[in-house]
Amino acid sequence: MKTRKLVRVLEGERIFPPPVWLMRQAGRYLPEYRATRQTAGGFLELCYNPDFATEVTLQPIRRFGFDAAILFSDILVIPDALDRGLHFVQGEGPKLTPIRPDEIARLDPSRADTHLAPVIATVARLRKELPEETSLIGFCGAPWTVATYMIAGHGTPDQAPARLFGYRHPDEMEQLLYLLAEMGADYLIRQLQAGADCVQIFDSWAGVLDEATFEAYAVKPVARMVEKVRAAVPDAKIIGFAKGAGSLLNGYRQKTGVNAVGLDWTVPMDQARALQTEGAIQGNLDPLRLIAGGKALDEGVDRILEGLGDGPLIFNLGHGITPDAPIAHVEALLKRIRG
Ligand SMILES: Cc1c2[nH]c(c1CCC(=O)O)Cc1[nH]c(c(CCC(=O)O)c1C)Cc1[nH]c(c(CCC(=O)O)c1C)Cc1[nH]c(c(C)c1CCC(=O)O)C2
């Protein structure tokens, strides 16, 4: 088998036009996703049923022929394996039982292997059913981002509850992040062993941290995960996405050991190019350009291709595709990239 495109870029090769996939590419903007979700009954029923999860992962590949498929699941399956009362309220996002400092030492990861077995089964199924040339991306949440939901019990605009928790209870915070790093690494190892070509670590809330907590919460636990994953799978290819981290992204690759650095749309071209001299980057179109379409979309795509197309690049959005993105605009994006 020839090495798949995404993996070649993760090894530092430049491919033009660049391989492309979109974060949250399986989702509510697709009528076929909405139909399968309806049949499944709920979001978690989709995540834990290999038939449904395989189907929705394949939907955007069939429709658009992206270069990579991302496993359909969620970062919150880890707190779910810890029995944190995860449920999804329509239109409100995830809810969990907020964790208290004194509960952290009692968290029990022993259920995780059994609980996550259907997700691992989905990975194996996907590798068999995907076209030979399509890369398969596994993923998990970074410890800090998963911790923010476990602490607040829901999404917040600035993760104030988790930040305060860290300042008031630094030992418990360190313990929680360590546990999530161990569990996340074990989970990624199983995904890679089941057939994922690479994995992405989502640190969607890295951007609310100051310099010291970024180092302690975003860099150190992710470095630990990368180390643990590589001890089991020496050539593991890993994408680190620390959204909103700005200038703190400089040095992130070296400190954590990830192969590629994911960029959100606020990262300036000069910084993106500097990061690209050290290895692959992924990103970074503003998802709202995809909603607007037309000139806004074309200009955004062209700027990335012109500015970053001569180095190792995985084309992506700077964050997930939104439910209101028109399908015709996704088609226009792909045409603009591939010609
Ligand atoms: C923070 C976070 C979560 N989940 C995830 C993150 C990190 C990335 C990011 O910042 O977007 C990651 C995630 N969530 C989902 C994927 C699937 C793979 C993909 O296509 O990218 C991935 C990689 C499916 C999903 N995860 C969720 C949906 C929507 C559920 C539905 O069908 O109603 C999907 C398709 C639900 C979810 N899950 C989460 C939230 C906050 C929500 C609600 C937001 C929303 O409703 O859009 C937690």
| 20 SS3 class | strand
pLDDT digits (tens, 9 = 90+) for 246-296: 999 999 999 999 999 999 999 999 999 999 999 999 999 999 999 999 999
167 Cβ contact list (under 8 Å, min separation 6): none
With a Cβ cut-off of 6 Å, ligand 1 is lined by 23-28, 37, 43, 70, 72, 74-76, 93-94, 139, 145, 155, 202, 204, 320
> Ligand 1 centre from 276 Cα, in Å?
27
Q: Is the pLDDT of residue 2 over 90?
A: no
Question: Between the CA of residue 90 and those of 55, 111, 158, 312, 321, what are the distances in Å?
Answer: 22, 27, 22, 39, 18
> What number is the average pLDDT over the span 108-129?
98
Q: What is the pLDDT of residues 70-94, one digit of tens each?
A: 999 999 999 999 999 999 988 889 9
Quickly state the pLDDT bin for 325 (edges 50, 70, 90): very high
* Catalytic residue check, 29: no
Instruction: Say if residues 95 and 87 touch (Cβ distance below 8 Å).
Output: yes
List, for residues 152-208, the tens digit of each pLDDT value: 999 999 999 999 999 999 999 999 999 999 999 999 999 999 999 999 999 999 999
In the chain, what are the domain boundaries? 5-338
Catalytic residue among 74, 203, 264, 286: 74
Whether residue 1 has pLDDT greater than 70: no
Distance CA 107, CA 276 (A): 40
CA-to-CA separations, 160 to 156, 205, 215, in angstroms, rounded = 8, 11, 18
Mark 7-31 as b/e (b = at least 16 C-beta within 10 Å).
bbbbeeeeeeebbbbbbbbbbebbe
- The verdict on whether 8 is a catalytic residue reads no
Atom 13 in ligand 1: which residue has the minimum CA distance? Answer: 74
Q: Which fold would CATH assign to domain 5-338?
A: TIM Barrel (3.20.20)
Q: According to the 3-state scheme, what is the secondary structure of 76-109? A: CHHHHHCCCCCEEECCCEEECCCCCHHHHHHCCH
The pLDDT, as a whole number, for residue 93 is 92
